[in-house]
Amino acid sequence: MTSPLLLSDCKKAVSDLKSLSNDELDKIMNDEEKIENILSSLDQSYLKEIETQKERLLESNRALAEENLSREPELVEGREKLQELSEQAEQLSKSVEEKVKQIKNKSGDLSLETSLALLQTAASEMEEKSDKLVKSFLENEIDLENFLDEFLTKRRQVHLRLIKAEQLSKIISRGPMGGTSNYVNAPAIPINSNYFPGVPSQNVPYPTGPIGMPMPGLNYFQNHF
């Protein structure tokens, strides 16, 4: 609405000035009072609309600024949490690489691919245990306090093992240390990638299904990972 009104005022002002001579126009140009009289004769209602829009925008900006200030503590906390998680991830990565070096330095140790399969299997087993714990809680077989304590512990172990498995998978892909395995790898068997988000689906040289020999106990993973 502002543009049509402004255009109308401009046309009216031009029309009024069109009939004036050059001398009269020069006098108007040098006379502020006459200029003000010409402007005051125009509608200029659009100026009020512009002022209203200006006030509305200022109020909106003020509200946004206040909201941003109110969220500053939350943003600071989130930034600090992100930094903390980044440092934890870096420490985990270094820990995995150190464990890999220790594994490679020990005679008769497992291949990296087999270690990855064992770590993934351990994470899968722990996730199944946490799911069973949830089922027990929903069936009122365990109280809330014990459930939270056990569930959080198990989920933490799952996530730690998945992170370590992902880091180990990256190390295997890079092949930084080279060398060959001291073991003859078993036929490759695909692992269900749904249990391991972030870890690429691949064939691994360690059987993950039922086999006719005893599997390493859970203490193995706690001592080595």
Same-domain check for residues 31 and 61? no
Listed in sequence order, the DSSP H helices in 19-44 are 22-29, 32-40
Determine the pLDDT at residue 6: 61
**pLDDT score of 90:** 87
Q: Among all chains, which residue has been given the structure tokens 């009939």?
A: 19
Distance CA 166, CA 172 (A): 10
pTM over 0.85: no
Same domain for 71 and 128?
no
- Helix, strand, or coil here: 43? coil
10-residue block means of pLDDT along the chain (225 residues)? 61 69 76 73 68 87 87 85 88 84 64 82 89 89 88 90 87 63 40 43 44 43 45
Q: Let me know if residue 99 belongs to a domain.
A: no
Q: What type of residue is 9?
A: D
Residues across the chain: 225
Same-domain check for residues 69 and 125 = no
Are both 149 and 119 inside the same structural domain? yes
How many separate domains does the chain show? 3
Is residue 76 domain-shared with residue 19, that is, in the same domain? no
Residues 131 and 225 occupy one common structural domain: yes
Bin 179: left if φ > 0, else alpha if -120 < ψ < 50, else beta.
Answer: left
pLDDT at 48: 74
Residue 46 lies in a domain: no
Residues 202, 132 share a domain = yes
Which string of DSSP letters, residue by residue, matches 171-220? HHHH-SS----SSPPPPPEE--GGGSTTSPP-EESS--S--SSPPPPHHH
pLDDT score at 152: 92
Does residue 21 belong to any structural domain of this protein?
Answer: yes
Q: What is the widest separation between alpha-carbon atoms in the chain?
A: 113
Here the contacts of 98-102 (C-beta below 8 Å, separation 24 or greater) are 99/224, 99/225, 100/168, 100/171, 100/177, 101/177
Same structural domain for residues 120 and 224? Answer: yes
Question: Do 162 and 116 share a structural domain?
Answer: yes
Instruction: Say yes or no: 122 and 23 in one domain.
Output: no
The domain of 66 spans 51-81
Indicate whether 132 and 195 sit together in one domain: yes
Q: Which residues touch 144 (CB under 8 Å, ≥6 apart)?
A: 137
31 with 55, same domain: the answer is no
